[in-house]
């Protein structure tokens, strides 16, 4: 990683100005579309969950079957809509599920073309060596998130969490969501084999939603710690100021 050359424009932007172009348009657009979609999907998802707050493993599951998890009702201030309304919650959920799924598809296509994935998210073998992991972890704990020599690059923990979210968690949300659709079961029966049945898919859908919520909380916390204004602005304009203490 150390010997990876900087791109010419990054190098040119470096020494004089401490502002670099960090986030491409596709990344910024997807980020904000997704922020709205995830917010709505979580709120409406919790309302839908309230209609039957039990989770099962396997191909079937209803009141007389063994539920591995039963939760109390989610409060109205967390759900969309705030009152109990399964029909309207489903309208929100199933419209924004389309935004979420096609948004990912478009972002992935754009990020292959603009080489965001290859340049910024590719995990190199050397980065996974214990020495580098320990180094980046210590830096992370010290709240130094950027390599002063290459401030644009993500550290290994950033890379791994973005790779996990983009290539595993969000696709899992979409596929387990589709697996709950009786029509999709007729169209793509392999979905049921992949997740071990509709009720397993529903359980996985819930667990991954919790994981994405956890990611979002950590993400927001780190944005605040790293300097909220600079980070938020960089996701709007693309331009990011290299923190002075790391320059």
Partner 1 sequence: MSSIITRRGLLTGAVVGGAGLLAGCDKVANDPSLRKILFSGEKMNMGLQRALMNRDALAPEFRPDQMSPIFRTNGTRNPNTPDYNAMLADRFGDWRLQVGGLVTRPLSLSLAQIRTIPARTQITRHDCVEGWSAIGKWHGPMLGTILKAAGLRSDARYIVFTCADLFGGTNYYESIDLIDAFHPQTILAWAMNNAVLDVGHGAPLRLRVERQLGYKHAKYVMRIDAVASLAGIGKGKGGYWEDNVDYDWYAGI
Q: Which residues bind partner 1 (CB under 8 A)?
A: 39-40, 43, 48-49, 51-52, 54, 56, 59-65, 77-82, 85-88, 90-92, 94-98, 180-189, 192, 198-199, 202, 220, 224, 227-230, 232, 241
Nearer to partner 1, 9 or 214 (CB): 214
Three-state secondary-structure class, residue 19: strand
**Minimum gap (Å) between residue 11 Cβ and partner 1:** 24
Nearer to partner 1, 48 or 156 (CB): 48
Nearer to partner 1, 30 or 92 (CB): 92
Three-state secondary-structure class, residue 200: helix
Q: What is the SS3 string spanning 86-126?
A: HHHHHHHHHHHHHHHHHHHHHHHHHHHHCCHHHHHHCCCHH
**Minimum gap (Å) between residue 116 Cβ and partner 1:** 25
Integer Cα distance of 37 and 83 in angstroms = 20
Return the CA Rg of the chain: 21
Specify whether the CB–CB gap between 105 and 33 falls below 8 A: no
**Minimum gap (Å) between residue 65 Cβ and partner 1:** 7
**Tokens found for residue 192:** 């049921």
**Minimum gap (Å) between residue 227 Cβ and partner 1:** 5
């Amino acid at each position: 990683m150390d010997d990876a050359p900087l791109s010419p424009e990054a190098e040119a932007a470096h020494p004089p100005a401490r502002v670099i172009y960090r986030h491409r348009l596709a990344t910024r657009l997807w980020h904000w579309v997704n922020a709205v979609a995830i917010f709505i999907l979580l709120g409406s998802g919790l309302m839908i969950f309230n209609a039957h707050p039990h989770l099962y493993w396997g191909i079937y599951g209803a009141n007389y079957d063994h539920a591995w998890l039963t939760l109390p009702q989610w409060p109205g201030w967390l759900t969309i809509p705030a009152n109990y309304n399964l029909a309207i919650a489903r309208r929100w959920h199933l419209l924004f599920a389309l935004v979420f799924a096609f948004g990912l598809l478009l972002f992935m296509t754009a990020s292959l073309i603009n080489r965001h994935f290859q340049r910024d998210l590719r995990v190199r073998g050397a980065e996974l060596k214990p020495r580098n992991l320990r180094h980046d972890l210590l830096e992370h704990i010290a709240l130094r998130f950027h390599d002063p020599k290459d401030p644009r690059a993500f550290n290994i923990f950033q890379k791994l969490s973005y790779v996990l979210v983009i290539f595993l968690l969000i696709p899992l949300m979409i596929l387990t969501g589709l697996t709950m659709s009786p029509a999709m079961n007729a169209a793509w029966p392999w979905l049921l084999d992949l997740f071990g049945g509709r009720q397993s898919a529903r359980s996985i859908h819930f667990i991954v939603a919790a994981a994405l919520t956890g990611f979002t909380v950590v993400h927001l916390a780190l944005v605040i710690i790293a300097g909220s204004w600079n980070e938020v602005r960089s996701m709007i304009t693309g331009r990011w100021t290299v923190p002075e203490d790391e320059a």
